[in-house]
Each structure stands twice: as C-alpha cells, then as structure tokens.
Chains A and B, each alone.
Chain A
Amino acid sequence: MSNQSNVSDPTDSRRRPSLLSFILYGWSNSVWFGIFLLSLIFIYSSAGSAYPPIRQHPSLDMTEMEWFHWWPFLLMIAMMCINITVVTFKQIPFRKVNLGVWTIHTGILMLSLGSVYYFGTKLEGDAPVFRRRAVIELPGHEPVSMLIRLNNHVSVGTGSDAYHFSVSQIFPNWNIASGDDKGKTAYMAWIDVVTPTQKYTRQLLAGFPQYTEDILPDRTRAKKTLGNPLVDDTLSLTLDYEPQDKFFLMDTSALHVRVAGADEWVERPMDDLPRYHDHIAARTDAILSPLDRDMPLRPLDMPVPALEKGKPGAADDPLTEYDVRVNAYLRYAIPAAQWATDGDRLNPVAKLTLKAGPSARLDYDLVAFDARRSTAEQGQIAFRWVASQEALDQLSNPSDGKLVFHIPETGQSFTVPIDDVWPPKNETPGVEPEFRPLEGSRYAYRVKSVIHDLVIQSGERSGATMSVATVELKTPDRIITRFVANLPDASRDIGDDQRMVQPDPIVNIEFNTGGGGGLTARVTLVAGPDDIGAYILFHGPDGSLQKLPIVPGGSVSLSPGVEAHLIYLITHAEEVIKPKRVPESERQRGTRRHYAMIRATISKGDWEKTLWLQFNDYALPNEQYRISRRINYSPVSLRLPDGKMVEMMFSRKSHPLPTPIALESFDIDTHLGGYTGDTNTIRDFVSKLRFKTDTGWSDTMQMSSNRPATEGGFWYFQSTWDPPSPAAGYGGMNYTGIGVGNRNGVYIQLTGTCIAVAGMLYAFYYKPVLRRRMQDQLRAKLDKNKADKESSEEHADAEMTEQMASI
C-alpha cells in the first residue's frame, strides 16, 4: 500500500480513457475515484450528523438512521465496494507482500455485506412489562383481572350485589418479617374490597400466596380478630404475571383503532407521517403563540388505509367502510379545549366575569352539566341550566330537601330537612356547621355542601344529572365523609387515602332533593332555552335571593362596585380539543415525539368528523396502564353515524414478541447509602424476566444494564424503569422498560472488522519485515553475482535498485 511502484494505475499512465468509458466502467478501477468517493462520504456524513437541520429539512424529514440509509449514501457505499473490489483485483498483485491490503479490503467488503443483512432485517423497539395483575374469582362470576397500579379499580357484579376492588397501596420491596421466609423481600399489593355488606383490605405478596391475608378497617388483621386470615374464603384474589406479547418499533407511526371497549387495537401504519416539521394548512388549525405568526404553512393530506383483508386484525377494524386521512401534524403541542357553538347536543357553557373596580377581575369558565366545572370558588359561583319556567321558579323559591338516615344495626330511621343546615343561615364565615345528633343513635351528622345538576360522566347513567350532598357522619370512633347522591348506588365515601370508595354499610343515607333542588351558591348563573333567557341569582346584602336578567355581552351590578359580566353563553357547546403549538424556544429538549399531535378526518359520504390525537409511546389496552408522567394513554372516542362508538389512538407500529414475556421482579442495585432519588446513587437496574414456553414459564432470566437477556432470536435490554417519587408518595418499580432488537449478520460484520484489523497489522508491521527479508535475500544473490561480474558494477547497482523497488 505504501509502495507506489507495486501497482500501475491505468488512469494516469499511457492512454487517457475517454469520458464515456470512465463513466461506464473506468471509475471502478481508479484509486483517485475511490478517494473522491471517500471525500463525498465524509462530507455527507458530517453534514447529516453535525448539522441536523439538513437531514431534518421538510423535503427530507429524516432521522439519523434514515439519512444513513438513503439511496445516495447507499449508492456511494455500493460504488465504494465495487471500486475496492476492482482496484484490488486489477491493480494489487496477489502476493505475500500485498496480503495486508487484500485482507483489509476483504474485511471492509465483508463488513459492508454484513451491514446490508443486518440493517435490512433489523427490528428494534421497546415495550413496558408490568409486574403483576390481580385475578379476582368470585363464585358465580367469570374471573376478572386488574393490573396492579395504584388506584386501579374494577367491579364484579351489578347493582347492590356488586363487589368493588381497588389497589390502595403497593410496596415494591416488602420485607417479610416472620415465618420461614423471614428476611426475604417481595412485591406486595393491598386490594381494598367492598362487598355489599362489608369492607376490608386484602394483602397479596407476589410469589408468596401463603401470606395472603385480610386487614380490617380498624387496621387489625383478620387472623387476630376473626381467627381466620381471610374474611371471605370464597373470594379468591391472586397475583399473576402480566405478560407482554408485543413491542413497539422505534421511529414508526401507526393509527390504532378499535370498537370502544375492545381489548385489542387494530393498527393502520402511517409510514409517511412527517417527523420534525409542523404541517397545518391554516393558522386557525392550531392555537399559535405570537412568536409563531410567521410559521410556514404546509398542508398535509395523507390517507391512512386499513390493512389489507386477510391480514391479522384487519377484520376487527371498525372503520373499514370509512375514509381515514391525516391532514395535520404538530411536532410539539399541548391539547387545549375550545368551545364550538354548533354541537348536536345540549351542553350549556358560559364565561362569567366578576369585576370589582378597574383591576380586580375574576374569570370563570362554567359548564352546567359537568360536575367539576359547573361551580367555582368552592361552590360559591355556579351555573345551572333550567329546562322550563317552572324549574326556574322552583330555583328562585327553593323548597326543602331531606336526608334519610337508616341504621341497619338497630333498624332505626331518621329523616332530617336539609335546609336546616344548608344553605347556612346567618353563618359566621370560617366556622363549620355543628354536628347534629341523630337522637337515640350513636351517630351525629352535618352537611358540608350540596351540589345540584352534576352530570354523570360514565357508566350506564352517563349523561344524566344528580344532586349530591356532602355529609359527615360521626360514629363513636371516627368520622365518615360521604357524598350522598339522590340516585341509588351513586353515593360514595372518601377512603383513607382520599379516594372514592363504596359507602360503609353501617349507615345508609338517602338524599331526597325535594322540589327543583336548592340554590347553594352565592352567585348563580341560571340559563334556559331562548324563551326563558339567562339570570343572575344571588343573595343580596340582606340575605334575600335576588334575580336579575342578563344577556351575553351584558352585565349586572351585584353590589356597589361589584359587577357580573356574562362574556358568552353557548347552549349547544361542543368541546373541541385544539392543539396549542409550543414555540420552538419553549420546548423541552429530548422529549422526542412525546408532545406530537395529528389531526385525523374520518368520513363516509356526507358525514365527516375531525379530531386531534396525541402521541402515545405504546398503544396499551386501557386506562389501567397509564403511569403519570411516564406512560401516557390518550385515546379519543368517536361516535359513528350508526351510533357505534370507536376509539382511536396515535402511537407506533407494534411487532409480536417471539414469545410473551413476564416480569418476575425489578430491583435497583445502589451505591453506598442506597437510592436517594439522585441517579448517581444507582449502580444497576435488574429485571428478572420469564419467557412463555410450551409448558408454562421459563426459569427467570436476568436482564440488566449491559447484560441483555436473549430468547427467540431477540435480545432484550434494560431500557427504562418506573422510578419512585418519594415526594409524591409514589413507590414506583411497577414495570420495567425493555428494549428489543434482533441482530442478524452481526457476526459477519464483526468478522469483517477483525479481518481488517489483522490486515492493518500485517500491512504496517509485518510487511516491512517481509520486505527486509526479501531485500536481504536479493542482496545476497546480488553480492554473489557481483563477485562473478566485477566489471559491470554500475549495471548491477542499477539492476539491484530496480529489483528492490519491485518488492
């Protein structure tokens, strides 16, 4: 390689080839052309790597991987390989001295071929594997399963016979304090069980079903109080693996669709979806920051066809008869709600502003039928919808509501008027109402608030309204806070950890709202159909209820200096999720596509629906898998013209795993002092996996940083984890993130690179030795000749030089 006279380059000696012959084949035998190609490859890779705006330009829109697998690059590499091959065969004689060059070139070609195979068949992605699910078996019912994630809940059975289960606590590393397994740690979950008659907590330890036991509401163990570890032996609760059977491919996009409530998603690939640049046709398509006034508009119209018939899952696609297109893409946006005025259902919304003087101003966005948004300022401001004049009159003259207490233990019943305690009359601000005894019982109560027109969000009664009184019930040993609804089975208690639980059966409370339901807020906006109009109802300074008409855009005076303005009132409002584009300078780095959104349009004939979808890293089966700030789950529901509900989700393409994977355990190994929340204290992440086999589950296989697990031609890498957040009281450790990849041809690549190293060593360090030996031999031969032909000294020197040069 470093001896010029070894080879003869036809391009720079004797006859110059014509341009045409150079283009046709001459280039392949030119070292200079090889140098030129190398320089081009250098420029190409520098540009694509050091300055991403080039490969990310809207006309290219490529990831690093795509840039380096684009045809110009592949063409250069292919030409390079041909050039190396031809030059080696034609210009480098296959001799011992040239073995190094031959070896290096062979190695490089082998590496290239290996890479074609490797990258051509590469599958790469990731998936979360959760730890456990609870399998609930109740006699007379099909088994039900519930993922172990804090606050997940399911119900078995219906009506008053229903059993309710919820995950109330998770201890990722519970120390077993007694028994044969003392000192071991296990993953433990507490499941709150509410039956029609009682309430208790069942403690489940992964891997140790023998330690399953119940804990009674007073925190005592059932074994101690009842003599049996379980309150109810017929109820079986067990922890089982939560296997993952697919992974999601890196840098891909797919639209996932399904009939609402189905378990499996059907995915429609979106291979042409943009990546780095926003595509909207009009500035009104998204909410733009003033910084983005000049952002370029790029329309998009990308059909998202259904899978071909016969492909797995294609038959389950509920949208096969519809045209589905994606016509907008935003790389980084946050969904924001806006009200469209042309909804097809009654949904009154209003914006009310209270002004006191020039600077004090409070805005309220009120939604009459939404429990969380119908009131503001802890119920002091409210928006009520009345369907008729009578309803309005009833509101203006509230009649009594009643609470009925029934105590099963003693059979006693009490009926108390609710206006006795609510709305509070002549109350002192800041002082809570007194507890009132239920005479003759061990209980006392007080009413803390009453809210009407709450719209039920889900379940069979979705869309209906109800009234709810917040009642505190004082028993001899505790205070129960209960939301008492005027509908059967809708009442709930607030559990120990501030979550809603089934009401404690010791006292049954009914709420009879009386006529119309009382007015509880200080200021209430009441609106009805056009013939009724809108009014502001408020308690004047003298405590009397006043009623003033108001129109959208108008205002009324509540007291000197205080005005209420009705900014808008929409009767048939439809909440439209519109993305708010985040300006480039305010985007967090390294979020990848976490904040990406697409707009999909679904149409059939004249019917058309448009909705925005947020990106989800994984298309998971349901809400139970959402992990706050880690794993999002944001499908969007859509009602088709035939009444069928479908769900859609923007996520990635998935690929089946060769065999389902279960997570036995996940641990972190730490440095001195244990895990403090600082990542510097972590030594390693250790997941123990099991793979599904024909006979059940395999033995555990360890997967940790730098130590992948292997199974079925794939390698599994420790990729992400579920970190605890002590400040938020979150124990974490509920899943492990596995990276998945195949590696066909990696040994061909490796062999190629190693051969090249051997060639380099040979060419640089062995070739000179070889050459020295040959020179010595030649010298000896020449010396001998010299002695023979003393006379022709000059000739011999010249000959020797020539011969040596050829080595």
Chain B
Amino acid sequence: MEQYVAYILAGSFGLLSLCLGLAMVPPRARKHILDAIVVALIGYVVVNKSMNAPPKVEPSTFAAAVDMTPLDNIAVQDKGRLKSFASHARSLMRIVTGGHLIAGQSQSFTFLDLMFRPEAYRNADCVYVKQKLMRSEIREQLAENATVDPAILDTFEQTGLISPVLLEHPAVQARLDILERDLIKTSKHVGQIRSAMAVQRAGTLFNNLPIVPATDNDPKSRWHIVDELATGMPADTSHAGMSTGGIPGLDPQKAADLLQGWIQLRDAWRNEDATAVNAQLAHIATALRAVNPEIYPDIELLKLESWYYRMKSMTWIWLVYAIAVIPLLMSVIYHWRGARWTGILIFTIAFALHTFSLGLRWYISGRVPNANMFEAITAAAWFGSFFAYIIEFLVRKTPLKTIFFLGAAVASMIAAMCTHFLPVTLNSDIENIMPILHDVWLYIHTNMIIFSYALIMMAAVTSILYLRFRIGGGSAESAVLGGAGSLIVRREKSFIRGGVVSFAQVLDGATMVIMELSFITLWAGLVMGAIWADHSWGRPWGWDPKEVFALNTFIIFLLLVHVRFKVRDKGLWTAILATVGCIVMLFNWIVINFVITGLHSYA
C-alpha cells in the first residue's frame, strides 16, 4: 500500500518538476523538449522490450514432427465449461510458464511432454517466477548454496524461467517458506511459484484432463480422466494412480480401445516416434468423440477456440491501431487528404479485426464478453472505436473530422497493448461468470460504464494534443459553444460551420463533444450500477472504493463543466481537467482493481 502512495507522490513530484522546468524555457524550446522526452520514452520501452524478449528457439525434430492438431481440437471439461484441449493446455501452461513457450514448442505439446516425460523437464527452465523480488531472492539462495553457472542465473533474472530442480533446492525452499509467512508482501508471490510447481507435475496434469465424455446425456454429468477407463485392462504399472472401476455405461470395447490408444501414445511419445504419435493422436481424438457423440461439442467450435488462442487472443491488433495512428495524426495536424483516407482505411482494418475478435469470443464463450478485466478492456476499446465512426459521420463536413478516429485509435491501441503485454495480469482465459454477475444489469451497467471510460480516454487524447499545442505556443482559443452545441447551432455561433477555425478550437471542440457524452454515460452508468447493487448487494451505494472513484471521476467532470463556465481560458482548463479525469479513471481501473480490493473485485 505504502509503496503505491510513494509511486503516486514520486510521479506527481516528477510531473511538477517537469512543468516548472518547462515554464522556465521559452515556448519554442518547450515543445522540442517535450517531444524529445516522449520520443525517448517510447524508444526506451521498445528497446527494453526487444532486449528482454527471449531468443527464438527452434523446436526439436520430434516436436516439429508431431502434429498436435487432432488433439488440440478435442474437448476438455474444466471449471464448468467444455473447452478445446489447446485452450486448456494454454491456461494450465500459463500457470507454469507465465505464457512463455518452452523450447519453441506449442503449449499443448509441452503439456503432453511434461505429462509423458517429466524427467526431461527437471533441468529445463520451464517454471516462471513472475515477481522480480522473488527472482533475486531465489538467485541469492542459489548463488550461496548451490553450484550453478552464473549465466543461468542471469538468464533467470531476465526471463523469470527456472528449472524445477533449482527451485526445489532446499535453500530456496527454506527461503520461500519464510517469505510465505508474510501475508501482506510476499505470500502471494510464493503462492504463484508454488502453484506453478504443482501444476507442472505429471500427476497434476494427468488428473486435470477430463477428456472422456460422460456416458449419459445430462450436461451436469462429470467427464472422466483416462485413468478411469482402466477396467479389465492389464494393470499398467507406470500409472501409479490407475484404479479399477471403469466408467459406468461405457462400452468396454470402446474403453479398452481408448486406453490402449493412450498407452501406445505414451510409449510412442517416450520413444520419440513421431509417426506413431501422430497416428495415435488422430485415433484418440476420433475415439473420444465416439464415446458419446450426442453431447460432444461441435468440432468447429473447438477448432475456433484453439485458433483464437493460437492467434494469442488477437491482442496484437494494437499494432494495427498503432499503424493507423500515424496517418491519422498527420491528417489532423497537416490536413493531408491522403493521410486521412489511409488512416481511416487502416483504422477500419483494425476495427474489423477487433470486432471479429470480440464476436469470436462471444461465440466461443456463449455469453457477452464483458465479465472479466480482459474482456472489459477489449470491449471498452471497441465501444470507443464504434463511437468514432458515428461521430465522424456527423462531423464529416466540419473541421472536427478525423480527430475522433485519432482519439479512438490511440485509446484502442493503449487498451490492446495492455492486454497484449500483461497476459498474466489480464488473463484472457474464457471462463464462466460467477453467480453474482448473472444479471441483465451486468450487460447494461458494465457496458455503459466502460463506454464512458473509452470516451474519457478519447477526450484525454484530444486534451493532451491541445495541451501540447498550447505548450508549443498555440493560441488560447476555445470552441465558443463547445460540445454538441457546436454541431447543432448554425452559422455565426457555431465555430465549425463558417469562417476560419483555429486548431485550438478544433481540439477543444472535440474534447467537449466527447466530454459531454462521457458525462452523461458515466452518470447513467453509475445510476444503473446502483440499481443493480440495490437488488444484488442490498444497497444501491456502499462507498466501495470502486464506486467512490467512479463518482470521483464524475466529480472531476462536474468541476470541468462549472470551471469552464467561469474561467477566461476555457480551453486550457477543459484540457487539464479532462486529462485529470482520465487519470482518476485509470487510477480506478488499475490501482483500485489490483491493489485495493473491494466488492467490485470481479473485474
């Protein structure tokens, strides 16, 4: 808790010193200093990311020769869902490897390999330690108590990946035991390491693979793991857990066939006989479907789910949005026609992909995708982009054109970047929603709120552009009527439909158009949340941190409306307060969500 306060204080102090520093240099120099800082920051992030990216490894001959496709598209019953094996393997492997691919192999391959040949991974760097502090603690113990090549420890500190053998070192375990006792600071991080270690065990993986369909047609029936097939079969000594009993209602012939196939797959796998493995994978996939075709999910759906995750949940669309930003920015600043149309085209491609990814997720999960943080962020960005089309159509013949596309592109790019670069924090697993969220208000309240958040983000983009324009010595003009009024009122009173319009007015006008809408949607979203809370928690308003900060965001906009009404330099104050509003909104979404737990901790 204290460290976040320190971060906030340090951040505020840094910002203040920057402002003071800028105030001391002439306006002409200011914009160059500012631009240099922004370019340096972006450069740092890009270089840092690419330096730290693990080197690309080619998979082994065996791994390359195995075709996981048939198995990827079988169904696994997990946490109340039927998902594809690829999706299941990915979510379990994410716990182990933190989303990293081991030895260039697919996650489903690693899953089976860990299960069939656990000994091959004892010394492989496959367990992910997320926290930097934990990495240095482990490193320290190993450096002191074990003979480990320092280069291995260097790599570990960078990538976070370490081998089970090193993690199991008594000195490391003893240290982790101590760290686990601190429930505030380190227990959670030790828990992450321990669950990674637990999941990578062959037994855990095997017991968490219910792939044999239930034999009755009740959807609530439990599916079975391969172990349960073992009735009347010769005892398999290598599977310690093999029990007898069998699966009631399953044709013994089918059971024997499946079990035999599984054992052959395992043996072939251990012998690295890719041809036999491929044959068995295909055979098992068919045999599993044949157990109870009536309840087996549609293969196309499973294929889509596997594909969706192979496409990394399509979070890379940030890049498409980023490419769209460049021509859109050029169009807004230099009014280049070609740039505008290029920007719109790329933006449209990004939006189409974005829509497709959301629709696909909706289709796969069978519910509206806005029940967890990943879905909320993706959907919010989509709402922003969708809104941009509508508003751009309305302002197509005014100087305001293109700027909303720019705002939406930047907002969506940032949102998608978050989902792309924080795959562990923003978990993209498709899961069931918890009972308390099963309500029509989930769709109304949540979407209204995240739509307002997207608008706030877009307003911040135009505001920051305005501030940058003013810092560079731009004129202190504002859109006289501001907001929707400027679009509706005619002629002289409306700055956009006649005469020469300054860049400051365009930016200010755009901010106001977005701000007014976000003002209403945020308020309406809060009211809808209160209606939901009234019948869900027993009170419309409980001063939960997330509620308070949504209200705080609204208070900033209340201030904006009234300050704009009173001050002389309307544009400047509007831009400042819209930016502050965005910061408060982000604080709510990030700090409150991940640091301060409250009732709203589902999303």
B222 touching A768, Cβ below 8 Å: no
6 pairs of residues in contact across A and B, judged by CB atoms under 8 Å:
A67-B543, A673-B210, A706-B535, A754-B527, A764-B485, A771-B485
In the bound complex, what is the Cα–Cα distance between A765 and B439 (angstroms)?
A: 31
B432 touching A673, Cβ below 8 Å: no
Tell me the minimal C-beta distance from A135 to chain B in angstroms: 33
A741 touching B539, Cβ below 8 Å: yes
B185 touching A585, Cβ below 8 Å: yes
The count of A-to-B residue pairs whose CB atoms sit within 8 angstroms is 208
List of A residues within 8 angstroms of B534 by Cβ: 743, 746
In the bound complex, what is the Cα–Cα distance between A31 and B565 (angstroms)?
A: 9
Tell me the minimal C-beta distance from A795 to chain B in angstroms: 17
Residues 409-440 of A, flagged 1 when their CB comes within 8 A of B and 0 if not, give 00000000000000000000000000000000
Tell me the minimal C-beta distance from B6 to chain A in angstroms: 12
Tell me the minimal C-beta distance from A668 to chain B in angstroms: 9
Residues 766-777 of A, flagged 1 when their CB comes within 8 A of B and 0 if not, give 011101100110
A49 touching B549, Cβ below 8 Å: yes
Instruction: Return the chain B residue nearest A719 by Cβ.
Output: B538
B539 touching A41, Cβ below 8 Å: no
A607 on the interface (CB 8 Å rule)?
no
B542 touching A65, Cβ below 8 Å: yes
List of B residues within 8 angstroms of A262 by Cβ: none
A768 touching B488, Cβ below 8 Å: yes
B79 touching A682, Cβ below 8 Å: no
Instruction: Return the chain A residue nearest B580 by Cβ.
Output: A42
Which listed segment binds B: A488-496, A587-595, A689-697?
A587-595
List of B residues within 8 angstroms of A122 by Cβ: 539
We find that the number of chain A residues with CB closer than 8 angstroms to chain B is 79
Tell me the minimal C-beta distance from B525 to chain A in angstroms: 11
B223 touching A2, Cβ below 8 Å: no
A:394-417 near B, CB below 8 Å:
none
Interface of B is mostly: helix
A705 on the interface (CB 8 Å rule)?
yes
A39 on the interface (CB 8 Å rule)?
yes
B489 touching A672, Cβ below 8 Å: no
In the bound complex, what is the Cα–Cα distance between A577 and B165 (angstroms)?
A: 46
B483 touching A2, Cβ below 8 Å: yes
A46 on the interface (CB 8 Å rule)?
yes
Tell me the minimal C-beta distance from B356 to chain A in angstroms: 26
In the bound complex, what is the Cα–Cα distance between A9 and B567 (angstroms)?
A: 12
B427 on the interface (CB 8 Å rule)?
no
Given contacts A760-B523, A767-B485, contact A682 B542 (CB under 8 A): no
B172 on the interface (CB 8 Å rule)?
no
B181 touching A750, Cβ below 8 Å: no
A42 touching B556, Cβ below 8 Å: yes
What is the size category of the interface that chain B forms with chain A?
35 or more
In the bound complex, what is the Cα–Cα distance between A771 and B482 (angstroms)?
A: 14
The listed residue (B432, B516, B592, B596) touching A671 by CB distance below 8 A is B432
Residues 79-108 of B, flagged 1 when their CB comes within 8 A of A and 0 if not, give 111100000000000000000000000000
Residues 557-590 of B, flagged 1 when their CB comes within 8 A of A and 0 if not, give 0110111111000000000000000000001000
List of B residues within 8 angstroms of A53 by Cβ: 1
A41 touching B559, Cβ below 8 Å: no
A655 on the interface (CB 8 Å rule)?
no
A38 on the interface (CB 8 Å rule)?
yes
User: Which of B210, B492, B531, B543: most chain A Cβ within 10 A?
Assistant: B543
B600 on the interface (CB 8 Å rule)?
no
List of A residues within 8 angstroms of B540 by Cβ: 118, 743, 746, 749-750
In the bound complex, what is the Cα–Cα distance between A753 and B523 (angstroms)?
A: 8
The listed residue (A67, A678, A765, A804) touching B79 by CB distance below 8 A is A678
In the bound complex, what is the Cα–Cα distance between A115 and B536 (angstroms)?
A: 19
Residues 738-753 of A, flagged 1 when their CB comes within 8 A of B and 0 if not, give 0111010010011001
In the bound complex, what is the Cα–Cα distance between A50 and B561 (angstroms)?
A: 25
The listed residue (A39, A46, A588, A685) touching B435 by CB distance below 8 A is A685
List of B residues within 8 angstroms of A753 by Cβ: 523, 527, 530
B551 touching A45, Cβ below 8 Å: yes
The listed residue (A31, A743, A764) touching B516 by CB distance below 8 A is A764
A498 on the interface (CB 8 Å rule)?
no
Given contacts A64-B544, A586-B182, A706-B438, contact A671 B81 (CB under 8 A): yes
List of B residues within 8 angstroms of A639 by Cβ: none
List of A residues within 8 angstroms of B523 by Cβ: 753, 756-757, 760
B447 on the interface (CB 8 Å rule)?
no
A585 touching B538, Cβ below 8 Å: no
A717 touching B559, Cβ below 8 Å: no
A2 touching B559, Cβ below 8 Å: no
In the bound complex, what is the Cα–Cα distance between A50 and B548 (angstroms)?
A: 9
Given contacts A42-B552, A584-B184, contact A679 B434 (CB under 8 A): yes
A659 on the interface (CB 8 Å rule)?
no
Given contacts A589-B183, A764-B516, A767-B485, contact A705 B539 (CB under 8 A): no
Residues 1-22 of A, flagged 1 when their CB comes within 8 A of B and 0 if not, give 1101000010000000000000
Which A-B residue pairs are the 9 nearest by beta carbons?
A671-B80, A768-B488, A681-B80, A680-B79, A768-B485, A741-B538, A49-B548, A705-B435, A706-B439
Given contacts A585-B183, A588-B183, A673-B222, contact A32 B535 (CB under 8 A): no
Tell me the minimal C-beta distance from B505 to chain A in angstroms: 15
Instruction: Return the chain A residue nearest B516 by Cβ.
Output: A764
In the bound complex, what is the Cα–Cα distance between A176 and B108 (angstroms)?
A: 44
List of B residues within 8 angstroms of A706 by Cβ: 436, 438-439, 441, 532, 535-536
Given contacts A1-B561, A672-B80, contact A717 B485 (CB under 8 A): no
